[in-house]
Structure 1
Amino acid sequence: MEFLLDGFRAVTWQQGVMYLVGFALIYLAIQKDYEPALLLPMGFGAILVNLPSSGVLNQMVEGIGESQG
């Protein structure tokens, strides 16, 4: 249970705002049918990239090792 609480505590207010933006884009794509082929992946990506401690932006640079994004 402590692991889940650590994850929730790692979310900053900026990430919370981006979650709302992502959910708004998904809502517009599904409910309002505004360009669903464009807005649905954008909303999903906005949510995934802002997951705390996900390592989405980490890269393996050849010769250097892992680079934090």
Structure 2
Amino acid sequence: MYLALHEELDLQHRTEVAIELLYRIEEMEARLADLAIEEAGLEAGIFELSREQAELLNSEADAR
């Protein structure tokens, strides 16, 4: 009886730990998705700045 109760408590604890780990994984996946969106925005900003820089260089070259 004692062994069965101990095994049941152990199984319950392992289940709780597994559920907590799943929640943490979901949180990390959500954070990764947020970071991917942020990265895409930064890359778009870099592209826009590069385009503007190229336009300025062309304007300077045309002015000469």
TM-score range, shorter chain: 0.3 to 0.5
Question: TM-score normalized by structure 2?
Answer: 0.32
Which has more radius of gyration?
A: 2
| Highest RCO, 1 vs 2 (Cα 8 Å, sep ≥ 6) | 1
Larger helix proportion of the pair: 2
Question: TM-score normalized by structure 1?
Answer: 0.30
Larger strand proportion of the pair: 1
